Amino acid sequence: MKYADFGKRIREERLKLGLTQERLAEDVNLSTAYIGQIERGERTPTLENIVAIANRLGVTVDYLLSDSVNSNGENELKIWLQ
């Protein structure tokens, strides 16, 4: 999984909407520090949090994950579903 690419896409979409990390975090009931860690590729959000972020940004989950998941990521899928 390319967490940095995933986080970069979230950041780009957040900035397009003129949202701060603080505002996005507040809107999806997460901490600002956690949003920053996701955007830097340092944390792996749960599927529930990915969906919440995608909904707030007005994009699809598959858009956020595009180019982030490699073809042999079966074990990594388990991480997302925990």
The more confident residue out of 21 and 74 is: 21
Return the pLDDT at 75. Answer: 54
Would you state the torsion angle of the CA atoms of residues 57, 58, 60, 63, taken in this order, to the nearest 10 degrees? -60
**29-72 pLDDT, tens digit each:** 999 999 999 999 999 999 999 999 999 999 999 999 887 656 55
Residues recorded for the chain = 82
Q: What is the pLDDT of residues 2-31, one digit of tens each?
A: 888 999 999 999 999 999 999 999 999 999
Q: How far is CA 57 from the centre of its chain?
A: 10
Q: What is the pTM of this model?
A: 0.81
